[in-house]
Structure formats: C-alpha cells, structure tokens
Amino acid sequence: MTTVVAVYTGQGLSERIGQLFREELPGCRLVNIIDDSLIADAIQAGKVTSAITRRLVQYYRHAEEIGADIIFNTCSSVGEVADWARPLFDTPIVKIDDAMARLATMKFAKIGVLATLPTTLEPTRQLLLREAERQNRNVRVLDALAEGAYQALVAGRPEEHDRLIREAAKSVAETADVLVLAQGSMARMEDTLSRETGLPVYASPRLGIMAVREELQRQGKYPCP
C-alpha cells in the first residue's frame, strides 16, 4: 500500500492533516510520528539545535523503515533540517510549506508572514527569499509575530491565540499583497484573516498535501492501490 509518513514536532496538527489527507489522497496510508519535545526544545533554545537535528533525522530513518513512499515534514521551524537531510535518504522528503512559498513568491511582491513563534518566523522568511531567488523574483517579506499566541494556545486559550493573530495580521495588512501563515496550526484562521484584511491568505497544510500527491503521481504511485 502506498504509504506517507508524516513527522510532527508538536501536537495539534495531526488531526487536520489526517482530514485533508483523506480528502486529497483517498486510499493511501498515513502514518504519524509525533514528538512534541522537538518544538518545546527549539522554543527553549531559540533555535534548532544539533540534538534536535539528530532526533529528527532519526525519525526520517524510522519513516523509511516503516516503508514510506513519501516522508512529509510538517513543521516549518525545522524545514532547513529537512533540506539538509534530503540527500541522505532514498525516500523523498516533502516539506509542508514549500508549495505555499512557491505560490506566494510566484504571484506577489510584498508578502506578510504571520507566525506565533520566532523559531518559525525566520525559517519561513528565509524559505520565501530562497524561493524568490530561485524564480528570479524580487519580493519584500514583512514580518508579523503574534507574540504570546502560541503560549495562549497551548494553555487552552484559543480565543486569545486568535485575537493576537488578527492583531498581527492587521499590522502588515496595509502594506502586504498577501498573508502567509508560517505554521500549519494557524490554518484554521485562513478564512477569518482573509475576510478581515481583504487579502489572499495562504496556509500550508492543504498545499503541502497536494505537493505530496504530485510527488506520488511522479512516482506512479497515485491513485493509491
């Protein structure tokens, strides 16, 4: 059976990914590897450490042992680890945010990046700039950190989380052409932010899963047997 192994660094996204997976890749098997200590350690250190990198690469190895046709990296904070690790594996690693970055830089010149963690904001900024360079495009990336929103969410205060994200979005909405949500966990705010700012808003989960489907099609493994 065609198998996708999704690697998570935190809780909260797997349910949404599972729902989108069933919609976009019916018949395929999805296996989840979740280690929420990874994002906790990254927040504490303020960066992705060598220890986090080693553990994440080990999870990629586990994914291959499970029989993954695709390894789906679901965390933007560790996206550069996925880039570095790709040559080490025969199994393709698809990052959740690559397709989002490609689409945003292809269509817009002023990109507002919303994040609830600084450890996600900077990697997403760099991803967009690298993608723009690859496309030979000039883009301006505008940072909007919803400080305290992530802590509110994990503390069980989703209303405060959403309020802080809306405030961050408004801080760049007058300058930006598009808003990009740096974390997959923010995807549920996509419609609300678009309605309140009048801007297109891109979230990574569905676009990432569609990229997985495209890679499986390239391999000749979709539709899934």
**Is residue 17 domain-shared with residue 57, that is, in the same domain?**
yes
**Is residue 51 domain-shared with residue 109, that is, in the same domain?**
no
144 residue type, one letter: A
For 110-147, how does the pLDDT look when each residue is reduced to its tens digit (9 = 90+)?
Answer: 999 999 999 999 999 999 999 999 999 999 999 999 99
Question: Which residue spans within the chain are E strands per DSSP?
Answer: 3-8, 29-34, 70-73, 93-95, 110-115, 140-145, 178-181, 201-202
Mean of the per-residue pLDDT values for the chain? 95
**Is residue 105 domain-shared with residue 46, that is, in the same domain?**
no
**What pLDDT was estimated at residue 185?**
87
DSSP state of 112: E
Question: Would 89 be classed as within a structural domain?
Answer: yes
Cα separation, 9 vs 41, in Å, equals 10
Nearest to 117 by CA among 52, 46, 173: 46
Check which CATH number belongs to the domain holding 108 and give it: 3.40.50.1860
**What pLDDT was estimated at residue 180?**
98
- Give the end-to-end CA distance of the chain in Å, rounded to a whole number: 6
**What pLDDT was estimated at residue 125?**
95
Domain that residue 122 falls in: 98-204
pLDDT at 225 over 80: no
Number of domains in the chain: 2
**What pLDDT was estimated at residue 172?**
96
pLDDT band at 58 (very low <50, low <70, confident <90, very high): very high
Residue 24 phi, psi (nearest 5): -95, -25
- What is the percent of the chain where pLDDT is above 70? 100
Strands 93-95, 110-115: pairing is unpaired
**What pLDDT was estimated at residue 224?**
75
Question: Would 138 be classed as within a structural domain?
Answer: yes
Q: Mean pLDDT over residues 9-14, rounded?
A: 88
**Is residue 155 domain-shared with residue 62, that is, in the same domain?**
no
